[in-house]
Structure formats: C-alpha cells, structure tokens
Amino acid sequence: MAATEILCLVQARRIGVLVLPLMSLVSAAAWADTEAVCRTVAERYTALAATTPNSDPLALFKKAHDPRVTVADPVKLLASSEDFDSWARTQKPPVELPKGLTVDFEAMAVPQLHRLPGTSFYALHSIDGTAQCYDSRYFFVRSGHVTEMRSPSGMQDDNPEFNCGVERTFGTVDQTPVYFQSNTTVYDQAKKRPDEMATILRVLPWQSGQLGEACEVRLEHTAKLPARLTNYDTPSCKAANCDAFKQAALSIVQYVRSNPDTALDHYLGLVTAEQRSAFERARKASDEARAAGENGMLGASTEPESTHFIDVAPLRLPYVLQGTTYVVRAGRITIGGRTSLDWRVTFETLENGKLLKQAEVPIGVEKGPLASATVSTVKTGTQAGR
C-alpha cells in the first residue's frame, strides 16, 4: 500500500469513518483540480456580488443563471413514503428501494430528493428546527438497483455540530458536478467567537466516479448598519426622547461590535464614581430579577461566556443620557436556536429597587459589500469554518 493511501486510511479511522472499497483515493493531481473549482467559484461570486451585494452565494448563483456556476433544483419534495415509492416506480428502469433506506426515510422530516447533475448519485436531505439542522442520506442507482453510500468525507454527517445552520445542494462548476454546502455559522478560532460577516462555501467536485476532496471559499463582507431589520417585533419606548435612545443604541452597537473585548471597560470609564455606583446597584437588581425569572428574564444570573453577546446573555453597561444613568443590555437577537445579525438594546432605570424598562431599540445589521474571497483546500476530517 502506498504511503499516501496509508495516510488517508489513518485519517479516516481517526474520525470513525468506514471506508468502502468503492470509494477510491484522490490523487495529488486531483487536489489541483479541486482548488481550481473553488477559484472559479470565488471569481464568479466576486464578479456577481459587485452588482448584487449582500447575497447568499447559492441564492446569487441560482438567480444569476451563471453558465459557469449552476445550482440544481431538488428532484422532488417527498411528503410521504408513498411519494418516495412513486418516484422509484416511475424511473426507467424502476428503482427497487432497499429496506434500510426506506426505514431511514421514515425517520426524516419531509425529505427533499436531490440528484447530482450528470450522475446517478442521489441525496435525501431533511431539514429540521430553527437551527436548520440537516439529516442526509446518500445512494447510487445503477440499473434499477440502489447502493447506499456513506457520507462524503467533506460533509461531516457523523458530527451533528456541523450539520446545523448550513445549506446543501448540488450543482456544477464549469460543467463538473459538485456538492455545495454554504455555512453562515462561521467560528473565528483566534477571537473565540462567531464571525458573523463570513460565509464559507464548501465544494466537493465529482472526480473519477465519486465526490472527491473538498475545497472552501471564504467570503468576508463588511458590516452595514443600521440596516433593514429581519427578525424583530415592534420596538418599545416609554420616554419622550425616543430619538435620543435610538441614536444612543446605534452608537453602542457600533462600538461593541468593533470592540467587544474592551466595551464594558470603555463605558465604565465614561461615567463618574456616583454614576458607576448607580449602575452597579441596577446591575444587582437585574441579577436578582434574572435569578427569580421576572419580567420574562431567564432564571439564571450569568454574564456572557464570551464576547459573543446575545439578548438572553447580553453585555450590560452603564450609559448616561440627558443626565440619567441607565443600565443597558445589548446583544444579538435570538430566534429559537438561531442568532440573528440584528441587535436588541434595552435601556432600564432603577426605581424603588426595581428595574423599569424605558426603551427597547432594535438595530438592524446586515452583510455589506464583499471585502475578500479566499480559497483553501480541505483535508478529510477537517471541520468547516472551525
């Protein structure tokens, strides 16, 4: 066995993947081809994004009908096992579905059937929950017979952590069939927090009768704010100076987003000793209300575990507006298991030992123009966006 084959086998064993004899190893030359596929994707996205900023890459390619990068539609939405059986019977020749695949199908929530263009390779994708978690199955069809396949090595279906907050589909790049996975839940390992302005598009090209090794295109965008709100109800404000609260909220979000590690110290440095004491008393009351689960607060009294502030674990800071000291809670808006780019900023005052909300201001944030598009190759078992 060649040294490269031994290395690939060791890597596969380390991540607990069963290597089927059908799945051949990818040559060094194929690596160059894989990277070229992602360079084409990066170049085409950069050109298209110049006239259509703030676009999800898969949605942009689909809308643009770009001849070099295409995104395929699902073959069929399968609402029931009868739909799956009906599809199988109408194929030429008819497809015999194995029991194992039909059992898996029954456990999936309204799967979509996808076919890799120009091949007999299929995927069943089921998406569940607000976190958009994928459950995927793969199979070949040859002369009416189904061969179930393990997950392509670059998709990490064996690790649920990497199946959420993504979008999967098939397509082509320069007529080469490819498997796309778009991931907007990108983690910045160096800063120990999510990188909300990044999108990673993972691409697996079809090579020698299989999906080969993966490459990635990392798209970095500038932030645009204030922007249109995507996830928010009606803001509230009891005070007469609501416009002043809106301006204050915008300045807070702008500073905290740019300086999350030092934001609290910065705002503490802007207040007097008396105002800081008032803030500490208000923060203590906030802790007590949170521990008691009052006013819709969670029944826990914890500071954010990192500098990724969310509305259920916000950054709390002092802010003086027109002579009044407020305790401010600022964090990204959460919807179920997802975190929005938009922020929620709440201003509260302490009156008779109780915190009273004076204003709640949403600040819309969205991805702005493309700042960079970088290409990298991905070894088997690596973690997308991690």
* Residue carrying the six token digits 């263009």: 117
Residue 38, classified by CB atoms within 10 Å of its CB into exposed (0-12), middle (13-18) or buried (19+), is buried
Tens of pLDDT along 261-304?
999 999 999 999 999 998 998 888 878 877 776 655 554 444 66
Residue predicted with more confidence, 159 or 73: 73
State mean pLDDT over 103-125: 94
Domain segments of the chain: what residues? 3-222+369-378, 236-364
Least confident of 25-39, 134-148, 155-169, 323-337: 25-39
| Cα–Cα distance measured from residue 74 to residue 170, given in angstroms and rounded to the nearest whole number | 8
Which residue type does 291 have? Answer: A
State mean pLDDT over 180-194: 78
State mean pLDDT over 335-363: 88
- Do the beta carbons of residue 155 and residue 181 sit within 8 Å? yes
Strand partners, 156: none
Average pLDDT, the chain: 83
| Predicted local distance difference test score (pLDDT) of residue 379 | 72
State mean pLDDT over 35-45: 96
Query: Please, which contacts does 13-17 make with residues 24 or more away whose CB atoms are closer than 8 Å?
Result: 14/381, 15/158, 15/380, 15/381, 16/158, 17/150, 17/153, 17/158, 17/380, 17/381
Band of residue 31 on the pLDDT scale cut at 50, 70, 90: low
State mean pLDDT over 242-251: 95
* Residue carrying the six token digits 């004076």: 358
The pair phi, psi for residue 352, each rounded to 5°, is 55, 40
Residue predicted with more confidence, 350 or 347: 347
Which residue type does 146 have? Answer: V
Residue 309, classified by CB atoms within 10 Å of its CB into exposed (0-12), middle (13-18) or buried (19+), is buried
Using N-to-C axis directions, what is the helix angle for 81-89 and 99-106, rounded to 10°? 140
Give this prediction's pTM.
0.78
| Predicted local distance difference test score (pLDDT) of residue 312 | 85
Helices H / strands E in the chain, number of each: 8, 19
57 pLDDT above the threshold of 90: yes
Band of residue 3 on the pLDDT scale cut at 50, 70, 90: very low
| Predicted local distance difference test score (pLDDT) of residue 204 | 95
State mean pLDDT over 22-39: 65
Tens of pLDDT along 217-243?
999 999 999 888 876 666 778 778 899
Which residue type does 63 have? Answer: K
Closest CA to 147 of 137, 157, 136: 137
Within 42-109, strands assigned E span 69-71, 76-77
